[in-house]
Amino acid sequence: MACWATQPMICSAARVCASSYAAEISGSSAAASGQVFGPVAAVGRRLRTAARINEEMPSSGCCARRRRVEVTGGRTVRRLIDAGAARTTSTRKPGGMVFINSSVGPSFEAVHPTRAAAPGIRFPVYDDLTDRLVKPETDPATGEPDPLTAHVLAVAAGYAYSDGQTVAEMMTRLGMEKCTCLTVTFRNDTMFVAATAHVIQSEDGRVVVVAFRGTEPVNLINWLTDVDTAQQKVRLDEDAPIDVHPGFYRNIRAIRYKLRKALLLALAGKPVDGNLDTPTDRAPMEALYLTGHSLGGAMAALLALLVRRDEEDEASFGGVLSAVYTYGQPMVGSPALAAACDADPRLGGRLFRYVYEGDPIPGMPSRDTGRWGHFGRERQHVTGLGDAGWQQSTSNVGQIRFAGQMAVAFGSLALSQLLVLQRIPVLYRIDDHRPQHYIEKLAPEGAVSEFGDRVYALAPTPALRLRRTIEHWGRRLTSVRPPSRLTNAQPPADQTSSNHRLDQPEERGIEAAQ
């Protein structure tokens, strides 16, 4: 199996120094009262000793490092970072809720696969990735997704659960060398807000990808956001209010203006992080993509809606917003809102949703919480008796009838791992929601993964085909599906209204929502 070579070997002294850091905390009440236990004091002495060693490190040669000093409130943290291809800076806004991190991806040479491990391997995964995103082979204005873009954005959405430096490195492996990644995080636990977005800008500035982080498995606030499903009426302008998912809306609203500031910098041909140390000779942004998995997909869809409804944002970003790609995205609004968005070709016509097999999240919120609907062009990965692959949906996925069915979906995780139980049909499987399934199934045939290995897709066995077919038809029969769906045909350009009102869907949209 091929592997990527990430960092050259350094001397042992550099490894010792690079693994140590010092934290000085002032105003500690425990220290003032003399309640510092022996082991804690010993650790503190070791950290202070490590800090002195770090400060005395040589500034050149194989041990070269750059020291970053971060000051947050009463706490000063000194860390060592590599002075090589990658750069990371971090700030925290007053109030303790907004965190902004900036990273620059490595060069191709820094992550090039070793010849011994990967002879003749194609690197990066895609040549001229920036050019191919600016002018994709399949124009999203046609209402059809571009396969290369779908795979690239699936990788970005999957690794949005990581930090900014990891996202920048993965985009480098795909073909976007030395990209800038601005990570914006807003957290307010009491209001069920824990939003994170990565703004990825190509080195030449022409392409920007905004990848939203989805629901983290161990993040309680994310889960509380997901289950906050009482529809909320929101007035975005002088038009009538619209019904949206309150948890999703609060999260995108919290970071929307930080993202807007970064995108305006990109439009002006400047780095999205506003860092003066970054070369500023960039072209203005030509292509903007929004993407996300799970909760991140819902936030991407809502941001597209907000841009479309805001006259100023539409004037600024409407011309460069190429498409929105989401994976395992839940529903974000009422059926009337979904129908109105579908009737707008510049919104519903450029949003592409991917649903993998029995992923239960696209069927949420469940019917017992109210009526919800999807908008956009849907692709489902279906394994049938005859073939398997991505198919254009003739009808959007329906709502799961009862919230209690999610307990069965989570319980099915064991069935996906144990060979003796894999043949038991289960309508919804939480294992199908994992982002790696979307990444692997969207990778072009013969292409290597973002790590350089080749994923060999084995033909499904007859037993698996039968089980998947039973599950697929079981979902179609038991879910609450929309009665009809708008056609994928796009109206001529001269019939596209630039001020389409989403609160007043066309007659056929209203009929579909009832």
Determine the Cα–Cα distance for residues 289 and 209; give it in Å rounded to an integer.
5
Q: What is the pLDDT of residue 352?
A: 96
Determine the Cα–Cα distance for residues 211 and 494; give it in Å rounded to an integer.
32
What domains lie within the chain, and their CATH numbers? 87-480 (3.40.50.1820)
Q: What is the pLDDT of residue 344?
A: 87
Q: What is the 3-state secondary structure (H, E, C) of 367-433?
A: HHHCCCECCCEEEEEEECCCCEEEEECCCCCCECCCCCHHHHHHHCHHHHHCHHHCCCCCCCCHHHH
Q: Are 140 and 350 in contact (CB under 8 A)?
A: yes
Q: What is the pLDDT of residue 241?
A: 82
Q: Are 64 and 58 in contact (CB under 8 A)?
A: yes
133's CB contacts (< 8 A; 6+ apart) are 149, 152, 202, 207, 209, 287, 289, 322
CA distances from 432 to 39, 82, 148, 154, 413 (A): 46, 38, 22, 15, 9
- The 10 Å CB-count burial string (b at 16+, else e) for 190-211 is ebbbbbbbbbbbbbbbbbbbbb
Which residues of the chain are under the pLDDT cut of 70?
1-96, 113-121, 237-238, 276-280, 420, 455-457, 483-514
Q: What is the pLDDT of residue 417?
A: 77
Which two three-digit tokens encode residue 230?
């009482």
Q: Are 52 and 23 in contact (CB under 8 A)?
A: no
Residue that the structure tokens 């965190």 belong to: 99
Determine the Cα–Cα distance for residues 432 and 383; give it in Å rounded to an integer.
13
Rg (CA), the chain: 24
Determine the Cα–Cα distance for residues 51 and 54; give it in Å rounded to an integer.
5
* DSSP assignment letter at 297: H
| pLDDT (tens digit per residue) in 160-219 | 999 999 999 999 999 999 999 999 999 999 999 999 999 999 999 999 999 999 999 989
| pLDDT (tens digit per residue) in 359-387 | 999 999 999 898 999 999 999 999 988 77
SS3 24: strand
Q: Which of 455, 364, 464, 461 is nearest to 416 (CA)?
A: 464
CA distances from 6 to 9, 101, 112, 120, 455 (A): 10, 22, 7, 18, 21
Strands (E) in 97-150, as ranges, are: 98-104
Q: What is the pLDDT of residue 30?
A: 40
Determine the Cα–Cα distance for residues 248 and 244; give it in Å rounded to an integer.
8
Q: What is the pLDDT of residue 114?
A: 60
pTM over 0.75? The answer is yes
Angle at 396 between CA 392 and CA 398, to 5 degrees: 140
